[in-house]
Amino acid sequence: MRLAPIFGRLCQCWYLHRETDMRIALVSPLMEAVPPKAYGGTERVVASLCERLSALGHRVTVFANAESRVTGELIVCRDRSLLTDERLTQGVADHILMLDRVLKMAARFDVLHFHTEFLHFPMFEDIAAKTVTTCHSRLDHVGLSRFFRRYRKFPLVSISDAQRRPLPHANWIATIPHGYPRDLFRRVPNGADTGDGYLAFLGRISAEKGVDTAIKIARRSKSRLKIAARINSFDRPYWEQVIKPQVDGKQIEYVGEIGDAEKTAFLNGARALLFPIRWPEPFGLVMIEAMACGTPVIACPCGAVPEVIEDGVTGRIVETVDDAVAAVADIAHLDRAQIRRRFEDRFSSDTMAEAYLDVYRHLLETRPGVAPGEAVRRRLAEGDATGRRPTRLPPAFPSASPGRSFPKERT
């Protein structure tokens, strides 16, 4: 028996069944840069996902504004961020023009990953199977149920199980929590480890974020509170009428809006992060930013909070101001090194990217009219426009499970 041809064929089959690098389009909102210079959620997640996917060898293209700085290819769709543009702007028009550009370039990509909510649905209906849409906002608005039933062909990813509850019959294919690079924020042991630090509020000045409740907690617990937050124009009346009169610069201090470079010091210096929200938060990035610094979180059980915070491990989940005051007195007993470890285990960009790669593989393997692996094998045989051949082939993905969710580990 001639073994060489058989051995060669086995090698070829093994090569074809290795995971390929994919051509992935990440379509970001135009509201902020990718990543944002200061406050911003969705665009920061897009940046983290792009960085990790690129590090894994995938070819990532980001559609965003010109202020963005990404590790993959950047397609500029606007000259500046909408939220920092002092000119009279029409954001919907800018986004539609961007989506039109994505549609014209769609053939270049294996997967189109949208982070623009659902504005693209009417334009991309013919190629819905090539898309995945991560929902970043609350989904309990009137009319959304009928809308998502109409556009049921679009595969959807939720960022928490709580987020999807208003639309249980939507085409959910996964729940994937947000993640950050392990080295973006870090734990730096200091005086806060012994409970001597201030309380921190981080994010945006708004009624639903509960800044007024954070002030009550600080005053009742006789603690200092540092507020690092953006004030948007539509939230300015709340700031002027409710919050600003309570800022004395001593016990209650407003330090302004801060970016990623300042967050490590700000959060490490805090005894705890206060997150007293009063709305169904779909995720809450500031919670994992605090965890990345080893800082415990005191939060109300709204939206995704019980999925992110492990009560008694990474923080305390409280129902009332009295509960929060008691938690402030007790929070020093939590192990800040363990909080950092829980961030690494559950909310790193590595974990997030691998979960999204599972989704991408599923899309490739179940695309209508394309046999499993056929498209990728064709690229292996023909090469792409650059002449560079992919090196790996995606394995078969098990049938989609609509309720498939991120595992919630406990210690």
Query: ∠ at Cα 258 (254, 264), nearest 5°?
Result: 105
170-221 pLDDT, tens digit per residue, is 999 999 999 999 999 999 887 555 556 899 999 999 999 999 999 999 999 9
Report the distance separating Cα 380 and Cα 18, nearest Å: 11
Q: What are phi and psi of 170, to 5 degrees?
A: -70, 170
DSSP string, 285-341: HHHHHHHHTT--EEE---TTHHHH--BTTTEEE-SSHHHHHHHHHHGGGS-HHHHHH
Higher pLDDT, residue 262 or 8? 262
Q: Is the pLDDT of residue 146 over 60?
A: yes
**What percent of the chain clears pLDDT 90, i.e. is strictly above it?**
75
- What DSSP assignment string belongs to 235-285? GHHHIIIIIGGG--SSSEEE-----HHHHHHHHHTEEEEEE---S--S--H
Whether 328 maps to a domain, the answer reads yes
Average pLDDT across the chain, whole number: 86
Give the residue with greater pLDDT, 411 vs 383: 383
Low-confidence winner among 11-20, 325-334, 352-361 (lowest mean pLDDT): 11-20
pLDDT band at 17 (very low <50, low <70, confident <90, very high): very low
Is 400 among the domain residues? no
Q: pLDDT tens digits, residue range 271-312?
A: 999 999 999 999 999 999 999 999 999 999 999 999 999 999
- Same structural domain, 358 and 255: no
Instruction: Please give the pLDDT value at position 20.
Output: 62
Same domain, 131 and 229: no
Residue given tokens 């002030």 in the structure block: 215
The torsion angles phi and psi of 202, rounded to 5 degrees, stand at -135, 135
Query: Does residue 402 belong to any structural domain of this protein?
Result: no
Q: What is the pLDDT of residue 14?
A: 39
Same domain, 309 and 222: yes
The answer to whether residue 27 is domain-embedded is: yes
pTM: 0.82
CATH number assigned to the domain comprising residue 175 = 3.40.50.2000
Q: What is the pLDDT of residues 40-62, one digit of tens each?
A: 789 999 999 999 999 999 999 99
pLDDT value for 88: 75
pLDDT at site 189: 81
Same domain, 173 and 196: no
What phi and psi, each to the nearest 5 degrees, are found at residue 329? -70, -25
**Residue 255 and residue 259: Cα distance in Å, rounded?**
12
Q: Which residues pair with 60 in a beta bridge?
A: 24
Of 220-224, 257-261, 372-376, give the lowest mean pLDDT range.
372-376
- Contact present, 65 and 42 (Cβ < 8 Å): no
Mark whether 319 and 199 lie in a shared domain: yes
Shared domain check, 362 and 227: no
Cβ neighbours of residue 150 under 8 Å, at least 6 residues apart? Answer: none
Residue 352, pLDDT > 60, answer yes
Other CB atoms closer than 10 Å to residue 5's CB: what's the count? 9
Same domain as 114, residue 65? yes
* pLDDT of 251 above 70: yes
pLDDT of amino acid 366: 85
Q: From CA 324, how far away is CA 311, in angstroms rounded?
A: 13
Are residue 121 and residue 203 in the same domain, yes or no?
Answer: no
The total domain count for the chain is 2
- Residues 144, 277, single domain; the answer is no
Q: Which structural domain, as residue segments, surrounds residue 236? A: 191-346
- Is the pLDDT at 363 greater than 60? The verdict is yes
Sign of CA dihedral 392, 393, 394, 395: negative
Report the largest interatomic distance among the alpha carbons of the chain, rounded to a whole angstrom: 89
Give yes or no for a cis peptide into 35 (omega within 30° of 0).
yes
207 and 303 fall within a common domain: yes
Average pLDDT over residues 222-241: 94
Query: Is residue 129's pLDDT more than 50?
Result: yes
Assigned domain for 158 exists: yes
The pLDDT of residue 383 is above 90: no
Residue 403 lies in a domain: no
What is residue 389's predicted lDDT score, i.e. its pLDDT?
A: 32
- What's the rounded mean pLDDT across residues 221-246? 94
pLDDT attached to residue 385? 37
User: Is 224 part of a structural domain of the chain?
Assistant: yes
Query: Exposed e or buried b for every residue in 382-392, given b needs 16+ CB within 10 A?
Result: eeeeeeeebeb
Q: Which one has a higher pLDDT value, 240 or 12?
A: 240
Specify the amino acid at residue 325: V
State the pLDDT at residue 192.
Answer: 58
Q: What's the confidence (pLDDT) of residue 40?
A: 73
Clarify whether residues 312 and 254 are in a common domain. Answer: yes
CA nearest neighbour of 405 among 336, 330, 320, 307: 307
pLDDT at 162 over 90: yes
Span 232-256, average pLDDT: 94
Q: Is residue 408 part of a domain?
A: no
Q: Is the pLDDT confidence value at 135 over 90?
A: yes
pLDDT (average), residues 108-133: 96
Query: Could you give the CA distance from residue 229 to residue 370 in angstroms, rounded to a whole number?
Result: 48
Q: Does one domain contain both 165 and 234?
A: no
Q: Would the pLDDT of 391 be above 60?
A: no
Q: At what angle do helices 321-330 and 211-220 cross, to 10 degrees?
A: 60
